[in-house]
Structures are given as C-alpha cells and as structure tokens.
A and B are shown apart, each in its own frame.
Chain A
Amino acid sequence: MDQITLLEKRLAREKKARETAEKLLEKKALELYLANQELQRLNTNLQQEVSNKTGELELQSTRLSIILKNLQEGILLEDSQRKITLVNQTFCNIFNLPVSPEALIGLDCPTAMEESKNFFEQPDLFVGIVNQMLQEQSYSPPAFLKTKTGRILELSYNPIKNKDELIGHLWRYQDKTEQILADTKIRQSEEKYRSIMENMDLGLMEVNTSGIITKVYDRFCQMMGYKESEELLGKIAKDVFLPLEFQELMAQQDEIRKEGKASSYEIQMLTKQGERKWVLIGGAPFFNTDGNLEGTIGIHYDITYQKELQKELEIARHDAEAARDAEKEFLANMSHEIRNPINSIIGMTNLLYDTNPQKDQLEYLNHIQYSSELLLALISDILDISKISEGKMEMNTSVFDAKDLFCTIGKTIEFRLQEKPVSFQLDLSPDLPEQLIGDRTFLNQILFNLLGNAIKFTPSGTISLAIQPQKQTDDEVWLAFSVRDSGIGIPLDKQSHIFERFGQAGKAKEVSGTGLGLPITKELIQLMGGTISLESQPGAGAGFFFELPFKIPTGTKKQQQKVDKAELFSNSLGLQILIVEDNESNRIYLEKLLEKWKIQYTSCSNGAEALQILETKSFDLALMDIRMPVLDGYETTVRLRASSSHPNQEIPIIALTASALLDEKEKALAAGMNYHLTKPFTPDRLAEAILHFVQNPSVSFSQDDNFTWPSPFSEPTIKDLYAGDLAYTKVMFELFLKNISGELQEVSASIQENKLLETADLLHKIKPNFTMVGLPQIGIKITELEDKCKSDQTDIIDQEWSDLQKEITSLIPQIEHITNQLKERT
C-alpha cells in the first residue's frame, strides 16, 4: 500500500474515532448534567431535613434546658472521663457558685469535688460517699449531707449506661432542709404526745375503715396484756377485744364515726388473758387529704377500778339504806313499847298530886311530872329524829305561856344543879310577851339540850339563860336567847364541827341529858326559822346564842284549860264502883283515881271475891281486869250475867286489858262486858267511860277519835288493833305501803320461777299485813292461794295470783289516801 492510501485510511479512522469520541462526550456531558441535577435535588432535600432535624434538636435542647433550669434539683452530668458536661442553675445556686452553669462545662470533676468539699460540715464524709457511689456504679439509695450553712442536701447518683457501657455519671442534689425539719417536727410532736399519753396511762389505737388495727402505742399493749405491738397490728380489733354483749354499742359508735363525729363511751374489753376491763374510750374519725374517712383513732383509759368502786359504793349505799330503814322500823316499834311504862309514871304522878303532898314533895312531883311528860314527848320525838333525817319534821304550833315555860325550865335546871357548885341565873326581860304561838316542845328540847350541855361541862361556876325580845311587831316577835356557862369551853378546832352530825365533839357525849345532839338543836332552830351561833374559849366557858321568831296571839284567846274531870263528878252522884284487879299497883291506881273523883269504891283481887261482894252489895259499875287468878274476868262476867235476879246482874262492866288484841275484845264483849279500856289509859278516858255507862248503861260507847273508815276497810278490825290510836295506826299503814310493792314482786318472781313452796311461805308472811290495814278479806284470799301452792295446783296459781295482785294494787291508792288523812290528824 502506498503512503497516501495509508494516510487516507488512517485519517478516515481518526475522523471516525473523533466523531465517536465527540458523541461519547456529549453523552457523558448529559449524564453529568443529569447527575448534577439529581445531586442538587438530593442536596436540597438533605438540607431541608438537616434544617428540620436541627430545628427539632434545638427545640428539644431548649425544652431540656428549661426543665433543667426549673428543676428543684441541682444537676451535674459528667462524661466517662469525669469531665463536666452539663450543670443547671439550681446546682450553682445550691453551692453558691458565682458562675453560670455554662462556665463549668469541661471542668474536671474530681478537682471540682476537692474544691467544693468544704461546703459540707463533714467534708471527708462527702468525698467518701461520692467515691463509694462511683465505685458501686449502680443506683444507690440517696445520702443526706449537712452543709455548713445548716442546709440538708439529699445526694443521688445514677450511672448513665449505653447498653452495658458506662458513658457518664449523673449527680442530683436536692435541698431537703424544710422537709426534714418538718418531718422532725412531726416526729417530735408525735413523740411528745405519745409520751404524754403513756405517762397519763392512756392507750392509743388506730384502726382503718375495715376495722383492722393499723397502729398501737406500747401503753395500750401493756394495758391489754400484750407484749408487743406486732401481736396486734393487722388484726381486726373487734375480734380481738370486743365481748359479745357490747357489739351493739360498738356498732352504734361506728355509725357515729362514719358521720364524722367524735364521742366517748364506756365499754368492756377483753385482755389477752381473757379478763375483762372496763375502759373509757374517746373515739374520733380521721381523714386523708382527699377528705375521705381513713380510719378511727381511740384513746383508752382504764376505769376498771372506778367501776369496781362504783359497784361497791352501790352495795354500801344499799346496805346503809337498809340499815337506816331497819333503824326506823325499830324506833317506830320501840317508841310504842316505851310509852306504856311512861304512862304509868304519869298516872302515878297524877295520883300522888292528890295525896296532899308537902311542899317539897309537891316540888318533886312537879319535876317528875314535867320530866315524864317531857319524856313522853321525847319518845314521840325520837320517832321524829328519823323524820329529821328525812327532812320531814313538822312544827306543831300552839299557844303557850312563855313565862311559865321558861320558869319551869329554870326550876328544873336549878334542881339538877343542887349537888354541884354551880349557880344558875335566869334573866327574863320584862318586855317578854305573856303568850306566844310556837312549838313549845321544840323550844323545850332546844333549851334543855343547851342547858344540859352547860351543866355537863361546867364543874363549877355559873350557868345563865337570858331571853330578850329583839324585834317586835303587833303579831310577831323575835326572841334572842343566850345560854352561857363558865365551864371548860370547847376546843377551837372542834368549834366549826360542833353542829355537824357525827362530828367528833358530839359523839359519845350526847347520851346523857335530853339525848338530843347539838346538830338536832341546830336543825330545830332552823326549822323554827332561826339561826344559832357559838362563842367559846377553851377554859373560859361557852356561850350559845340563837334567835327565834314567834307569833303573838291576838285577842284574848284563853288556852283551853284541861277540863278537870273531877268537876264532872262533883254533883255527887253517890256512885259505887267495884274494882276487880289482881295487880296491886294497878289497883291502887284505880282506887286513887276514884278517890280523887269522890267516888266510893270497893276493891277485890279476883273474880271469885268479886262475885261474893256483888251478892252482898249493889254497885253502879264494875271495873274488871281480865287476867286474874282463880277466876278471870270473862268467867266472872259470864257467871254474873247468868245469875238471875241478882241485883248486879246487869251492871255495866268495863274490862281493863293490857293488850289490844282482837280476841280479848271480842271475848270481853261476848262474855257480857260492856266496854274495854286498854292499858295504859288516861284518867280522862276512864272518867268519860264511867260517866257514860252510869248514865247510859245500855248504850254502846266509843272514845276513839272520830275517824271514818270507808269500805273496803274494816273499821272493827282497825279499831280493835289500834284502840283508836291514830298515830300508831298511821305508822303501821306507812309500814305497809313501804313494803307492799317489794312483797308483791317477790311473790310474782317466785311464782314465775315455779317455786311453789317458797311462794307459800312468802304469802304466809305477808298475810297479816293486810289485817293490819283493815283488809282481812284480802288476808283470807291469800290464805286460799297459799293452800293452793302447797297442794301444787300450778295451773290456776298464775291466774289467781294475777287477779289477786290486781286487786291489791287497786287498793293501794285508797290505802295511801287513808294514810295521808291519818298524817293530817296526827
């Protein structure tokens, strides 16, 4: 091939190659362009995303820093190299750092720690704790550190791990000063109250709304016999402590708590040993912060001792009252017994007056009469002592001669002082009114008591009684009394108690004299409207001063004189009376009486003699004793009445009996006697009877006080029993009323328990009581029921007793009414 051809070929190839290359270039350029576009697009997207992400990050960062800033905790974050990466403002504040949080970033932690350790009270403790926390490299409980400025910081540590790799440390500091102070205060307060309560022997227990024990103080455990609170916590309080019979009370209390109220109540609780204690509980509800009921708290006080004491006191009181009642009954009975001999004395004294006594004898008789009458009055008043105790003493006012009373008292005192080197002085003001209206008996007693004491306590010297009118109006006067003596006086420490009952100064020394104590004197004075005072120096005598008001009788109301029955007989009826009495003193008494009345008499000492005499002489009347030897009163009368054409066959016979038994009376009347007098009888009564029967021999006679006994009360029964003595009647009625309801209950209970024999006994016991109040018909029904009990007729007893009880109960108001009437009369 020649050169040109070679070159042409080569050129053609070069040209082609170039064209190909150009095409390739274009193609590449386009590719490049497109790639560029794509890149740009991607770039823009990326930029946007980055921008977004950056925005988000910034936002989060802002949020976090706000949180951090506002955290109450101081935060310190370090990286694994222990360089500070993050600190918040609170941290700087806590440690009083004068720099901003950002300035601390990058600092070396250990160094910083060294520099800051002296901030704490115990710097080495701080360092030690930090190091220990770092060593453990896990979450550990927070530590409390005290700073030198007195703040208490709570330090917490958290290691920061990425999977298992430690990448940082988080320290948190919180200022807990206030909280801890508050907690301490609360704890101290609770301790204080707990110890107060424990010292006061109070127990405390808390239960929740389900009744489960959530808290107990030691004292409470001890009180209930438990050693430790653990034994009780978690248990249901009711199950542990509450006896069955108090469950209702407890349920009521629970309701009160639910209403949000507190209350206190007494209840019995069971100890661990099973014993019972009486406890006073103050219970109150308590609420949680939402205001919902969270539980109840109870404060317990052991009152077992007080309850026992209460019981014992009750028993003692009951016993004391029973004793007092027994005493009253005794007094009521006894006083009646004592009356009889005293009446004898009075009777004899009256007779003695008629024996033409000499002057000195007369004087003696006056004293005897006065004393015995006083004594009789006193016996009535002994009954009244019990009245005083109950405050039921009543004044009985009447018109009396003042001078007469005071002079007589004076004379008595002089008489008593005969043996002693003591002189008596009576000082009556001339301005004293002649007559006064008041309770003479009370005044007597008061003066006798005070003067009696003066006599007892004055071995030598003088005793004086002075009486002066103080304020006087037309119808009223106040009298000032003073009783002075130059005796041994009263010790100063006893003076304030001397008017008190059972006070030391008054004890055994009350027995002699009039038997009334100063306390009673004081009460009588007060009852009369006055006051009493005393002055005394030991060794220098004593003076008692009191004032009493009296009304003055207007006009000239003459005191009703006792009608001297002797006048009745002065018409000299020429009476002849037969005395049949075996008892000598009684016979003499009768004889003297008849002498006084200028009645002629014949005496004998038994029935046989009487019959003989009656044959020989005619009489107008016979006074016949019942109980006589040889022939008694009944027989004598029967025989007399039987003997016909006897001049004395039908003479009135008055029986003289010692007892008021129904039998005797009936017998006397059945035997033919006309009337009977119960000893002791006053001369007046005898005179009245004699007078009646000599004038109206066949007319029946009654001397009893006019008292109408309505049905269903049996007048004969009552009259027979009490012989017209309304006072005695009243006492027995009162006694009945007092006992009846108790007695009825006893019988009812006994019947209910089906104890028939016991019921029969009870019925037997109460039967006579109904006779005593004039209801013998009830007594009969009781006897019937008693028999049925004995013969075991159980089926009808219930009904019969019920009926009978109703009947009795319906009568009680009537009995009470009668009793009130009797009270008014006596």
Chain B
Amino acid sequence: MVEETMGAEMVETIIDEAQLESGGAYTAVGTYPTSEIEALVQRLEVHTQLNRDQLLEAFGKFLFKGLAKNYPHFFPEGIQFFDFLSGIHDYIHVEVRKLYPDAELPDLIVQEKTDSKLVLLYESSRRMAQLATGLLQGCIDHFQVGANIHHQLISGDGSKVIFTIVLKE
C-alpha cells in the first residue's frame, strides 16, 4: 500500500529507519513479529501527517481488496454480506491457521445477527481494531452494500471493541 500510495522511496526510507530484523525482506509464506509492522507504522506517522488509526484503517481497506483477489475461494458464489462476516472467525481464520499456525488473529465473534444488523465483538491483544474497521469498510465496498459501521470500545486499551454494522434501510 505504501508503495502504491506513497512511492517506492518511502518504502525504502521507512524500512531503513525501522531497523527491522527481517531487513524488510518479506515473503508471503513467512510469519513476522507484530513489532515490525508497528515500527513501520511508527516511521510512517513521522513522514506523513496521518496517525496510527488512520494508517491502519487505510491499510485495512487496501488489504481486503488484496485478500479478495488472492483468495477467491473465501468468496463463494452467492454468499451474502452478513454471512461472510459471520464466517470470518469460524471459517476463514481457521483456514488461515492451517497454513500459518503461528498467525495471531483477532477473535471476531458474532454477538447478534438480524436481517439488518450485525454485531461483532472484536478481541485482540494487538489492539488493531482500526485495521478491522478498514477491513470492514473494504468488505462493504466489495459486497457493494450500503451499511454503517459503528464501533464501541469495551476495554480502554482497545483490545475489546464492539462493531455494529447496520444496513441502510
């Protein structure tokens, strides 16, 4: 996303500045510590006027597009928006762990589901609820539905958040 929206140079800069153990050499089959992405986001904050929340949200939106593209089998023919969201925790994350047993994924548990409203509980020690927001937004765009996302902090440190998605009319 950085390369696409901020250019290649920015990429090198933040990699150099972050002094990553991996040296920024990322491969899709690997698993890297969360501290590296936090470091990269930190450097990006310095070079842009955006804060962590904004950056993560933007990334979330961007990431969803990539996921949708690379993993079409998670989006079977005819699947509905709410059903997809309900299945993230029980199905998608389970599949992810099969390939990446070490992956640290958030819990995204359905609290309430009606025809027009879906309430999800987000819980993660990495406190990246904003990333979740971005992903949710990307999902809305992908499914081309009109919906509002309302998030509510449950715990002060942001490790627990309630997302309420309400379909427009």
Genuine A/B complex = yes
Residue positions of A touching B, CB distance < 8 A: 1, 6, 9-10, 13-18, 20-21, 24-25, 28
Identify whether the interface residues of B are mostly helix, strand, loop, or mixed: loop
B27 within 8 Å of A (CB atoms): yes
State whether A6 touches B30 (Cβ < 8 A).
no
B15-54: CB near A (< 8 Å → 1, else 0) gives 1000000111111111000000000000000000000000
**Known contacts A13-B15, A16-B23; is-contact A24 B8 (Cβ 8 Å):** no
B12 within 8 Å of A (CB atoms): yes
Q: What 17 new A-B contacts, CB under 8 Å, besides A16-B25, A24-B30?
A: A1-B9, A1-B12, A6-B9, A9-B12, A10-B11, A13-B25, A16-B23, A17-B25, A17-B26, A17-B27, A18-B27, A20-B22, A20-B30, A21-B27, A21-B28, A24-B27, A28-B29
State whether A20 touches B9 (Cβ < 8 A).
no
Number of A-B residue pairs at CB separation under 8 A:
34
Q: Which 10 A-B pairs have the closest CB atoms?
A: A16-B25, A21-B27, A17-B25, A17-B27, A13-B25, A24-B29, A9-B12, A21-B29, A6-B8, A13-B24
- Complex formed: what's the CA distance from A10 to B15 in Å? 10
Nearest residue, chain A, Cβ from B15: A13
Q: Which of B8, B28, B29 contacts A10 (CB 8 A)?
A: B8
Q: Which of B11, B12, B15, B27 contacts A20 (CB 8 A)?
A: B27
Q: How far is the CB of A4 from chain B (nearest CB, A)?
A: 12
Which residues from chain A contact B30 at a C-beta distance below 8 Å?
Answer: 20-21, 24
- Complex formed: what's the CA distance from A591 to B163 in Å? 190
State whether B12 touches A14 (Cβ < 8 A).
no
B65-84: CB near A (< 8 Å → 1, else 0) gives 00000000000000000000
- Complex formed: what's the CA distance from A21 to B25 in Å? 10
Residue positions of B touching A, CB distance < 8 A: 8-9, 11-12, 15, 22-30
**Known contacts A1-B12, A6-B8; is-contact A13 B23 (Cβ 8 Å):** yes
- Complex formed: what's the CA distance from A14 to B3 in Å? 14
Which residues from chain A contact B11 at a C-beta distance below 8 Å?
Answer: 10
Nearest residue, chain A, Cβ from B99: A28
Q: How far is the CB of A7 from chain B (nearest CB, A)?
A: 8
Q: How far is the CB of A78 from chain B (nearest CB, A)?
A: 43
Which residues from chain A contact B28 at a C-beta distance below 8 Å?
Answer: 21
- Complex formed: what's the CA distance from A25 to B12 in Å? 26
Q: How far is the CB of B136 from chain A (nearest CB, A)?
A: 30
Which residues from chain B contact A25 at a C-beta distance below 8 Å?
Answer: 29
For B22, B26, B29, which residue has the most chain A Cβ atoms within 10 angstroms? Answer: B29
Which residues from chain B contact A21 at a C-beta distance below 8 Å?
Answer: 27-30
- Complex formed: what's the CA distance from A104 to B69 in Å? 60
What are 22 A-B contacts with C-beta separation under 8 Å?
A1-B9, A6-B8, A6-B12, A9-B12, A10-B8, A10-B11, A13-B15, A13-B25, A14-B25, A15-B25, A16-B25, A17-B26, A18-B27, A20-B22, A20-B25, A20-B27, A21-B28, A24-B27, A24-B29, A24-B30, A25-B29, A28-B29
Nearest residue, chain B, Cβ from A6: B8
Which residues from chain A contact B9 at a C-beta distance below 8 Å?
Answer: 1, 6
Q: How far is the CB of A23 from chain B (nearest CB, A)?
A: 9
Which residues from chain B contact A14 at a C-beta distance below 8 Å?
Answer: 25
Q: How far is the CB of B135 from chain A (nearest CB, A)?
A: 24
- Complex formed: what's the CA distance from A385 to B124 in Å? 152
Q: How far is the CB of B156 from chain A (nearest CB, A)?
A: 38
Nearest residue, chain A, Cβ from B27: A21
Q: How far is the CB of B106 from chain A (nearest CB, A)?
A: 24
- Complex formed: what's the CA distance from A6 to B10 in Å? 10
Which residues from chain A contact B22 at a C-beta distance below 8 Å?
Answer: 20
State whether B12 touches A10 (Cβ < 8 A).
yes
Which residues from chain B contact A18 at a C-beta distance below 8 Å?
Answer: 27
Q: How far is the CB of B103 from chain A (nearest CB, A)?
A: 14
Which residues from chain B contact A16 at a C-beta distance below 8 Å?
Answer: 23, 25
Q: How far is the CB of A18 from chain B (nearest CB, A)?
A: 7
Which residues from chain A contact B27 at a C-beta distance below 8 Å?
Answer: 17-18, 20-21, 24
Which residues from chain A contact B24 at a C-beta distance below 8 Å?
Answer: 13
Which residues from chain B contact A17 at a C-beta distance below 8 Å?
Answer: 25-27
- Complex formed: what's the CA distance from A10 to B11 in Å? 9
Nearest residue, chain B, Cβ from A18: B27
Which residues from chain B contact A9 at a C-beta distance below 8 Å?
Answer: 12
Which residues from chain B contact A15 at a C-beta distance below 8 Å?
Answer: 25
Nearest residue, chain A, Cβ from B22: A20
Nearest residue, chain A, Cβ from B31: A24
For A1, A6, A17, which residue has the most chain B Cβ atoms within 10 angstroms? Answer: A17
Which residues from chain B contact A24 at a C-beta distance below 8 Å?
Answer: 27, 29-30
- Complex formed: what's the CA distance from A20 to B27 in Å? 7
- Complex formed: what's the CA distance from A18 to B25 in Å? 8
